[in-house]
């Protein structure tokens, strides 16, 4: 359960990274994003969850892994969801290579907020 929560958190962070990679969002855009994400998770809408993933240049095996992780949490009730600013320590962790499903991975896109 703890590993699932950790991977779901990582997946959520990936989603947020992708959603805000190019431009900072307004509070209204952030709310729309979190509402859509929450509705997709609670409604078991795996197609919408997969649409949040940034796939350009991604490793196909890693992409399948993250798709599986998203669908694994689908249907669960989300009691609270918000985007929070990242601390410098969070940024360091996100850009440090870590073990992934197909070897070492790190986030290339600049993260601004996390779920």
For residue range 41-82, list pLDDT tens digits in order: 899 898 898 888 878 888 888 888 888 887 777 778 888 888
Angstrom distance (rounded) from CA 3 to CA 8: 8
pLDDT category of residue 112 using cuts at 50, 70 and 90: low
pLDDT category of residue 5 using cuts at 50, 70 and 90: very low
- Give the DSSP H/E element, type plus range, for residue 100: strand 98-100
Mean pLDDT for the chain overall: 76
Other residues' Cβ atoms within 10 Å of the Cβ of residue 66: 23
Output the CA–CA distances (angstroms, integers) from residue 89 to 14, 24, 28, 85, in the order listed: 16, 20, 27, 11
Angstrom distance (rounded) from CA 105 to CA 99: 6
Angstrom distance (rounded) from CA 63 to CA 61: 5
């Amino acid at each position: 359960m703890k590993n699932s929560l950790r991977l779901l958190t990582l997946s959520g962070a990936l989603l947020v990274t992708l959603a805000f990679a190019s431009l900072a969002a307004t509070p209204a855009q952030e709310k729309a994003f979190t509402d859509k994400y929450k509705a997709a998770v609670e409604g078991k809408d795996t197609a919408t969850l997969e649409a949040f993933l940034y796939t350009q240049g991604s490793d196909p095996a890693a992409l399948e892994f993250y798709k599986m992780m998203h669908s694994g949490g689908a249907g669960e009730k989300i009691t609270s969801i918000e985007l929070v600013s990242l601390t410098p320590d969070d940024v360091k962790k996100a850009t440090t290579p870590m073990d992934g499903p197909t070897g070492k991975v790190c986030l290339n896109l600049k993260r601004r907020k996390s779920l």
